[in-house]
Amino acid sequence: MLFSSITFLYYFLPVMLALYFIAPGKWKNIVLLMGSLIFYAWGEPKYVFLMVLSILPGYGFGLLIQKHRGKSSGRIYCIVSVLVSLSFLLYFKYADFFLENLNHAAGLKIPLLKLALPIGISFYTFQIISYTVDVYRGEEAQRNPCYLAAYIAMFPQLIAGPIVRYADIAGQLEGRRHSWSMAASGIRRFILGLGKKILLANQLGELCSVFRDSQEKSVLFYWLYAISFVLHIYFDFSGYSDMAIGLGRLLGFQFPENFNYPYISASITEFWRRWHISLGSWFRDYIYIPLGGNRKGRKRQILNILVVWILTGFWHGAAWNFLVWGLLFALLLTVEKFWLLQKLEKSRVLSHIYVMFFVIISFVIFNGENLAQGISDLGGLFGIGGIELVSAEALYCLRSFGFVIIIAGIGATPLIGKVIRHIRKRPLGEKSMQVLELPFLLVLLLIMTAYLVDGSFNPFLYFRF
């Protein structure tokens, strides 16, 4: 079930919230769990059993790890729990990738499993791992299996994050406060996130789809596609994160922020502090630092960076273009750490151009159906293959989508937020904003509902991963 769907907005969510707030405090997590399982089963009924099957070992190992904490057996239980969680992910997401490449390398004909990828498995697997590792590190194990299952299966962040660590909301699972101000903040955040998704990401995604189907590709069209995809993935994913954070607030949870205007970054290092923050911090705290981080010399640090970014690329999908994407960022980050970072600080303009150039290049590789297509798209950006500079279809798309691209470009910066804060500081500015906010949100919701009723282009990119 998509957040950006009539079914979710006007059927599931109102019923879910009504039952949740009617339920007594000790029953709220049970209602949340049941609603989350229904939400997940709506699109993939059979895979809800896989998720439950993934949660049960996490619960059992959590209790065992706490009981044996400080002993070698506790460490063994922790390692086994991580391996069990990863086994589900490896089987469903990566088995065919390994079989296909083994067949190609060894000349074998092992039949592929052709398994459908369970939606959200990458996200909830990482949450189960974070739980058991946090227990090993000293966090109290959750003795109520329904509470733990509610944390892992929680519908706002189940499908595409942000990756919420158990340690961050352990106290909120046991007891949380609800208030009108928090609910209002959650509704506002959800509607604005929905606006990012429907009014910007979907339009930009439609342009990318038109480009893929076109037989009149040109250098201009390739650049239109590349810029549109970079904006599309940002508004698609950050919009979903905003919706998840908003829904979390409605339910009394404080989820971590996941994006902080990454396209204003002056280095790739800064970019990854602002982009998909929950994933980057997860790899830092559960992979990079345990491997030794930067504490064991330069060669070991380079190796650690390489390992983290191979895993980051591979986490996004079982294809070579994701691995190349990860290796590109490993190279850029390594070069920055040991040589380039200080030079970038001398010119904000040049550093920003450098960042956006490599971000565009990286996401063109990232979005290829395979590595060959990603490399072909890169060639198109630079006119390789003798393609024309401008085509009639590219000019048509520029006229049709140019306004959306400009608005999205502005929206990807803090400019709008700064203008709103400036207005609030002026006499009567705060009161005016309060009076206008509710009508604005209602009109925005009506416009988005019209788009959804019309059946407009409405995929969600990260379901692919």
DSSP 8-state code for residue 200: I
Nearest CA to 336 out of 311, 361, 307, 305 is that of 305
CA–CA dist 53, 442 (Å, integer): 41
Backbone angles phi, psi at 292, to 5 degrees: 125, -10
Q: CA 139, CA 143: separation in Å to the nearest integer?
A: 12
- The one catalytic residue in 178, 316, 352, 422 is 316
Confirm if 342 and 266 have CB atoms less than 8 A apart.
no
Residue type, 411: G
Among 188, 132, 126, 124, residue whose Cα is nearest residue 150: 124
Burial class (CB in 10 A: 0-12, 13-18, 19+), 341: middle
Nearest to 2 by CA among 465, 336, 463: 463
Both tokens of 9, joined, read 């907005």
- Listed in sequence order, the DSSP H helices in 72-120 are 72-89, 95-106
| Token pair recorded at residue 222 | 């390739």
Rounded to whole angstroms, the Cα distance separating 127 from 163 reads: 7
Q: How many Cα neighbours within 13 Å face the side chain of 11?
A: 10
- Nearest to residue 21, comparing CAs of 34, 32, 7? 32
Interior/surface letters 426-438, b for 16+ CB within 10 angstroms, e for the rest: eeeeeeeeeeeee
Reduced DSSP (H G I as helix, E B as strand, rest coil) percent helix, strand, coil of the chain, to 5:
75, 0, 25
Do 448 and 6 contact (CB within 8 A), yes or no? no
Query: What gap in Å lies between CA 229 and CA 175, rounded to an integer?
Result: 41
316 a catalytic residue: yes
Question: Which of 131, 175, 133 has its CA nearest to residue 151?
Answer: 131
Active site positions, annotated: 316
